[in-house]
Amino acid sequence: MATAQELQIKQKQEVEKKEEATIPARTFVPTTDIYEKGDTLYVVMEMPGVDKNNVDVRVEDGILKVEGRLDFSKYEGLQPVYTEYNVGHYRRSFDITSRIDSNKIEAEMEDGVLSLALPMAESAKPRTIRVK
Amino acid sequence: MIGPFGNTFDALLALQEALEGHLSSDWLRGSTASRGPFPPINVFEQGDNFVAIIELPGMNRNDLEIQAKENTIRIAGRKTASYAEDISIHRRERVAGEFDRTLTLPIQINTERIRAEYRDGVLAIFVPRAESDKPRTIKIS
């Protein structure tokens, strides 16, 4: 019985490398939602298997860079017999067109979901322009 | 057997290659029933027992239902990714909805001792083999 809301698997996408990684492992792109509310830009990323202490968020030159390192120690001693997905670290960056007040970025990690709140800097806040 | 990993640089690569090697293996062919292919499942052997690892980020534990019977495990639930009303969306990639999958393992499950753990958005179901299913050494008299 199919429902309208049936979930489909989204194959994990590998990061297209601009620079070579120092470790010979594959890195994946976290599934991301981005939305704006009021004066804040919200970025929500799914990084299952990443502990909150293994997340790195930076804003440099208008680029938001997020990295999440997978804790794969729990796979020790396990022998795969049937697999449908692969695992790895996560990395993704976005061009942020609005000016972000990088000192006020808030990050929260819960159940493998990273939520970022990026407040816009004063100068970047939308202004309503009245037509005379 | 994967590991021990230690802190070597290529430990993750070794794990990735081990997982890759079993992608779409026919080990469970015809025995995974589902309404849809979500969520993707990896199955591992740990000695006599099995471990199923499923990535389900952002789940509410109360929206997750796991049932075990004989040699099957049913994983059902609802994944949500909802936001406030008055937002302007730039990009929407996360999926939400209901899922229901049944996994059939080639062992009889000890349903008393099966346990599940949900951490960092990853569900791990530890499936012990039933005592009656374990091999017995038969002494020749």
Residue boundaries of the structural domains of chain B: 28-133
pLDDT value, residue B2: 52
Checking if the pLDDT of B118 tops 70, the result is yes
pLDDT value, residue A125: 65
pLDDT value, residue A4: 52
Checking if the pLDDT of B138 tops 50, the result is yes
C-alpha to C-alpha distance for B111 and B108, rounded to whole angstroms? 9
| Mean pLDDT (chain B, rounded) | 84
Phi, psi dihedrals of residue B116, rounded to the nearest 5° = -125, 150
- Which B residues in the span 110-129 are in contact with A, Cβ-Cβ below 8 Å? 118, 120-122, 124
Are B44 and B122 in contact, with CB atoms under 8 Å apart?
Answer: no
C-alpha to C-alpha distance for A18 and A7, rounded to whole angstroms? 32
Query: Which of A3, A5, A7, A96 should be substituted to probe chain B, the one whose Cβ sees the most B Cβ atoms within 10 Å?
Result: A7
pLDDT value, residue B81: 83
pLDDT value, residue B4: 52
Q: ∠ CA(A83), CA(B27), CA(A85), 5° rounding?
A: 10
pLDDT value, residue A100: 81
Q: Which residues of B touch A67 (CB under 8 A)?
A: none
C-alpha to C-alpha distance for B57 and B79, rounded to whole angstroms? 8
Instruction: Determine the distance in angstroms separating the CA of A103 from the nearest CA of chain B, rounded to an integer.
Output: 23
- Chain A contact for B28 (CB, 8 A cutoff): yes
pLDDT in tens, chain A (132 residues): 444 556 777 778 887 766 666 667 788 999 999 999 988 999 999 999 999 999 999 888 888 999 999 988 889 889 998 888 899 999 999 988 767 888 888 999 999 999 999 998 877 666 777 888
Are B53 and A71 in contact, with CB atoms under 8 Å apart?
Answer: no
* ipTM surpasses cut 0.90: no
Highest mean pLDDT among A22-26, A92-96, B10-14, B55-59: B55-59
Checking if the pLDDT of B57 tops 90, the result is yes
Q: Which of B125, B36, B96 is nearest to A113 (CA)?
A: B96
pLDDT value, residue A19: 66
pLDDT value, residue A46: 96
Predicted confidence (pLDDT) per residue in B72-103, tens digit = 999 999 998 878 888 888 888 998 899 999 98
pLDDT value, residue B114: 94
pLDDT value, residue B55: 94
Are A49 and A55 in contact, with CB atoms under 8 Å apart?
Answer: no
Phi, psi dihedrals of residue B20, rounded to the nearest 5° = -60, -40
Q: ∠ CA(B81), CA(B85), CA(B88), 5° rounding?
A: 85
Instruction: Determine the distance in angstroms separating the CA of B37 from the nearest CA of chain A, rounded to an integer.
Output: 6
- Please give the radius of gyration of chain A, using alpha carbons only, rounded to the nearest integer: 18
C-alpha to C-alpha distance for A24 and A22, rounded to whole angstroms? 7
In one-letter notation, the amino acid at residue B62 is N
Is the CATH code 3.40.50.2020 the one for domain B28-133? Answer: no
pLDDT value, residue A2: 43
Q: Tokens 């100068």 — which residue?
A: A123
C-alpha to C-alpha distance for A79 and B18, rounded to whole angstroms? 8
- Which B residues in the span 81-100 are in contact with A, Cβ-Cβ below 8 Å? 81, 83-84, 86-99
C-alpha to C-alpha distance for B109 and A41, rounded to whole angstroms? 48
